[in-house]
Structure formats: C-alpha cells, structure tokens
Chains A and B, each alone.
Chain A
Amino acid sequence: MARDTMTAEERIVATINLEPVDRVVCAPIIEQYAGQFAGITNKEYMWDWEKAMQATEKVWEAFPVWDSNAYMIHGRYAPVGQKCGPGRLRMPGTELEDNAQYQIIEFEAMTRDDYALLKDKGFMEYRLTFLERAHQVSREEVTAAQKEMARLRQDEIDRTLRRGQSLTWGAIMGVVPFDNFSMMRSIDKFYKDMFQIGDQLDELLPIVNNATIAGCEAVTKMLGNNRVFVGAVRGAGQFISKKHFDRFVGPYMKILVEKLAEKNIVPILHCDADWTKNLEFFLELPKGKFVLEVDGATDIFKAHEILKGHCSIKGDVPAALFTVASASELDEYAKKLITTFKNGEGFMYSSGCNLPMNARHENVKAFFDAVEKYGRYN
C-alpha cells in the first residue's frame, strides 16, 4: 500500500489551489452518524459533548483515511443549538424520541415589517432579535450561548488538529444573504417577498452581504484558518428562475467571493439542492479561490465538465447510497466519482451534505475504503 507523502493540511490547500496531491482529500461531514457508529443514542450525542467528541474520535480511529474534518456539531449541540442555532430545533430526548434525528422547525420568525428594523439597526443586531424570537429566549441567553458555541468550536478544532486532520473550514459563517432572509422569513413567505417587494430586497441584500463578509474576515483572523463555510440552498436553479438568480443571488455571491479572495479567505460554498442550471455562473467567480460543495442533487459530473480547472469541487455521495443501497452500489458510485476527476483538478471526496445518521455501517466502510482503492495517485 502506498503511503501518504503530504499532510492533511498540505493536501487540502493543494486541492483548493488545483495542484496535484498524493491522494484524494477525504472530507465527509460525519456529524450525527458518529453517535450511531459508537453505539450511543442520538440523545446522548446531541446532549453530551464529551460523548459526542469521543464518538467522532472512534470514527476516525476506525477510518484514519478521513483526513479533513468538516465539523458542524458545535452549532447544533442541543444546549447551545436551542438558544442560538440556525432556527428552532427539536431535539432527541426532549421533543423527540431518544434516537431521533434533530429537526429544524421553519416558521415566520421574521415578519415583513422587520425589514425596516434590519435596515435601521444593521444585520448583526437584527440577527440577535431573530434568534431571541426563533428560540424564545432572552438576549442574554443568546449571547451566552454564542460564547459557549465558540468555545465548543475551538474544542472541535483542537481535537481535529491533534488527530492530524485538517480543518475543512475554520468556521461556519452561515449562509449567503438570500438564504439568510429565506430562513428567517420562511421559504414560502420569502419567495412571495421576492415577487412582491423585490425593490426592498435590492436595498437589504447588500447590507447582509457586507455583514457576512466582515464576519468572515473577523472569524478567520481569530481562528488562524482562512477557510469558511458559507451555505446556499434556496437560490438554486432548482427553485428560482435565472432572472431571479441574476437579481437576488448571483451578484451577491460574486461580490462575497471576490472580496474574500482579496483578503485571502477561501469560502467553501456549501450548495445544497440542485445547482446544475447555475454551474456556468461559477465560472464568473475567481479561479482557484473558492470551493463548490454539492450534496448529490447537483449533477457533479456536469460540474466537473464545466468547472474542472476552475475551482475545487467537494462532494457528493448521495444519502440514498448510504442508507438504502448496497455497499457495492456505493463503491461503484465512489469509483466513478473519484476517477472522473484527474489529479490536480481539485476534487474533495465527501458525503452529499451530512453523512446520514442512519447510514449503513458497511456502506460507510465502503465509502472510506474507496479512497485507497481509487483515490491514490502515488
């Protein structure tokens, strides 16, 4: 068996820079599956930090080829997630059965009238108001939870680095402005706003975008890692027309990536849902300065055709292959996926979004085994 000649960090940096590597970067988002792998309930995983971290450690011990940790749990961990998480969370052991997957309840926590408030107070201040409403907690509880979340993030970072893994991203900076509004307003209300009060959105989207850029700059300085997660889902071509994309999504994503590139910050554009219709757009973003992460819905092979040599692409073994297919079917897909990309074309091998909590263990093994079978270049 050939041996690694690069560190995990060297491998991920080279991949983003579209340079050759010794083997493919292996960067699945493990999250709640770790608890199932370790034999604990999801209640224990979501409510007991030490058990959660030990479960993650066990996955890595079993599959040390997992070399880049795309960690997310610090923002969902129940004691903080229910005070400052992305939305109202139902958790195993409290609102749900002990081994259930956590769920985000989407509702209109931000009203249309709040647009004026956001314009007046600025996004960061408004965001705190939103979190108070979404979680039905006080401002003090929100800010205390945010501090705790930052402490937990640092703990995930420290543990990841101690294992010799790289950090896929230093911080999760939230989402592009379109998604920020959509999640705060709820998807149906926000799409209606897009049709009915687009002019107001034209004024507000830059405010949110600038706040996101400033946040990325601050957090990368603080953490000493220049990669940030920036999510995008609801502005995908699966959901909105090109006309709306060109007005409400594309320009802001472009500004965001360009401004971050000027500051040597690499956004990992975590694009869930189907972006196949938007793939040409990503050619407008600066070459080698961002990662496009897709979740199994976007045609990653089409993405390769259009974007190879332009940006790193992260993805995308679909959830169904982990949960209802056989291990051999997953292996077949992994082979096609890994071998489609040539060395130096910037591929990061990953799950499509999170590795499902109820993934079959033999399929997860097949996922990791595929790295050595098909992803070795030396």
Chain B
Amino acid sequence: MSKIDLVKAMTELDEDAVLEGVKSQLAAGVPAMEILGQLQKGMEGVGKLYEAGDYYLSELIMSADVFGGAAALLNSALTEGGEMKTVGTMVLGTVKDDIHDIGKNIVSTILSCNGFKVVDLGVDVPIATFVEAVKAHKPQVVGMCCLLTTAFDIMRDTVAAVKAADKGAIVLVGGGPVDANVGKYVGADGVCKNAYEAVEACRKIAGVN
C-alpha cells in the first residue's frame, strides 16, 4: 500500500485518506507531533485555497471537521508526548446576549490548527468572564463575535472593560453585521471578516513570521 500524503489529503479534504494516514503513521511509530505538523501544514493549504477564493465557508467547516477527527486520533499520543507548542494565545467568545456560535467555532478551530492556544469562552459571555479570562490567560489577542446588532453596545462595553483590565489588550471583532463602522463604534483594534483574516492578524500581533 502506498504511503498517504497527509498534507495533500488534508488540503484536499479527503477525510478517509486523512484518517487512514494518521492511523498508519501512528502504527508505524511516527511521533504524534510530527503527524500533527503534517495536518497543520494541510490546513495551511486549506487557508491558501480559501484566500485564493477556491475554498469557501463550506470547505472551512469541512476542514475543521476532518482536522478534528484526525486530531482526536492523536489525542492520547499527544498527551503522552507532553504539551503542544503554541505560537500565541487568544481569548475568544460571542458577547453577552448573543448565542451564535458557528463563526466563533470556525475561528477557534482555524486558529488552533495554526498553532494558537484558543481559550474559547463560548456564547452569551458576560463582560466579567472576558475580563477574568484576560487576567488569567494573558492572551496576545482577545476575539469577540456577534451576529445581532443589539449586541453592539454590549460588545463596546466588553471591549472597554477588557482594555480597562489590561491596557495593552488587543481586541479583534467579527461577525455578520460587524464592519469597519461597527469596529470603530465598539473601540476594537481590528475587524476580521473571516477566520483567515483572524489568523493573519493574530500572527502579526504574536510576531509570527
């Protein structure tokens, strides 16, 4: 049986090949971190195709699913091998009074695939929870999402509270109706239209080349 090119299979969203490839490499004794690296490289390929306009949200959702399934196979092996190396930390959540999670979940997965530790606070997140998380995790970036226009004011209050708690905090916002006008209104440092804009912004902020 020919060896499966895990990077290519991941980039092409070939779920069966990805899972088979991970299993066979684990069986052959390839270190879990090395397999994870191949999956992440495949996700970088997904990102490039997304940026080029060849992949869309549906491909991102599919890639997150395939990556998640493959990473689950690696879980125990990764734990045995110690902590994963991360390039930065983001505290992320959908602001209070808004329960939408699809966009947030995609951002969380794509950032994780790109080596960031994501502290996902969930949806309908109270201001105090954001503040506590920022104090506890000292993230390079705080990400806030919302889909409701009625959450703009809460988002503004949350940004202000986070910045009051940590003057150096950098806050990125996103979500369906969030544009540059809204970003300015809520006092954010940047607006991300999609998950890959978030990756790019976070890499810059974290000083990753």
Contact string, A187-200, partner B, CB cutoff 8 A, digits 1/0? 11001101110000
* Interchain CA distance A319-B146 in the complex, whole Å: 13
B128 within 8 Å of A (CB atoms): no
**Do A324 and B152 form a contact, CB below 8 Å, given A100-B97, A319-B177?**
yes
Contacting residues, chain A, for B57 (C-beta < 8 A): 191, 238-240
A residues contacting the other copy or chain, number (CB 8 A) = 34
23 inter-chain pairs at a CB distance below 8 angstroms, sorted by A residue, are A96-B97, A100-B97, A100-B150, A101-B148, A103-B100, A105-B99, A188-B102, A191-B62, A192-B65, A195-B58, A195-B62, A238-B56, A238-B57, A241-B54, A241-B56, A244-B58, A320-B149, A320-B177, A320-B181, A320-B182, A324-B184, A325-B181, A357-B149
Tell me if B's interface is mostly helix, strand, loop or mixed.
helix
* Interchain CA distance A349-B56 in the complex, whole Å: 30
Whether B58 contacts A194 by the Cβ 8 Å rule is: yes
Whether A192 contacts B149 by the Cβ 8 Å rule is: no
- Complex interface residues of chain B between 62 and 90 (CB less than 8 A to chain A): 62, 65
A41 within 8 Å of B (CB atoms): no
User: Shortest beta-carbon distance, A353 to chain B, in Å?
Assistant: 10
Contact string, B1-43, partner A, CB cutoff 8 A, digits 1/0? 0000000000001010000000000000000000000000000
Residue of B nearest to A187 (CB): B102
* Interchain CA distance A195-B56 in the complex, whole Å: 13
User: How many inter-chain contacts with C-beta < 8 Å in the A-B complex?
Assistant: 76
B44 within 8 Å of A (CB atoms): no
Whether B59 contacts A187 by the Cβ 8 Å rule is: no
Residue of B nearest to A329 (CB): B181
A residues contacting B by CB (< 8 A) are: 90, 96-97, 100-101, 103, 105-106, 187-188, 191-192, 194-196, 237-241, 244, 297, 318-325, 356-359
Whether B99 contacts A239 by the Cβ 8 Å rule is: no
- Complex interface residues of chain B between 153 and 183 (CB less than 8 A to chain A): 153, 176-177, 179, 181-182
Contacting residues, chain B, for A192 (C-beta < 8 A): 61-62, 65
Indicate the member of A194, A297, A320 with the most B CB atoms within 10 Å. A320
Could you say which of A238, A321, A358 contacts B152, with CB atoms under 8 Å apart? A358
* Interchain CA distance A192-B57 in the complex, whole Å: 11
